[in-house]
Amino acid sequence: MKIKVSELRHVTNLLLDHLERSGHLEVEFTEDFYWSIPEDRLYAVYDEPTGFTVGQLSDDWEELRQIGSGQKPPVGYGLVWLSSLLRRIGSKIIA
């Protein structure tokens, strides 16, 4: 499977626009910590995952804020931080 970045950007913008139109102009996170499966185990779906680690939404957001403000350069791993936030938003807001 190949996905064009332009298509991904388009769909992402549509989803974020939908949130705003639905009245969700801010998102409040009442949870902060979450379970994370190590990358080498994440897609090994036929093996029981082990070695869980803990991630933190507030840390993920702080890293992204620093990228957004220019304090840090954009890095590919920023998409992992973003995905943690988007996953929580997507499962929390039903709109």
Q: Model confidence over 53-88: pLDDT tens digits?
A: 999 999 999 999 999 999 999 999 999 999 999 999
pLDDT of residue 16: 96
Mean pLDDT computed over every residue of the chain = 94
Name residue, tokens 């993920």: 60
Q: Which of 15, 7, 9 is nearest to 79 (CA)?
A: 9
Give residue 50's pLDDT: 87
Taking 60 as the threshold, does the pLDDT of residue 24 lie above it? yes
Quote the pTM value.
0.89
Other beta carbons less than 10 A from residue 81's beta carbon: 19
Give the domain ranges of the chain.
29-92
Helix spans in 1-95 (H): 5-21, 39-42, 57-68, 78-92
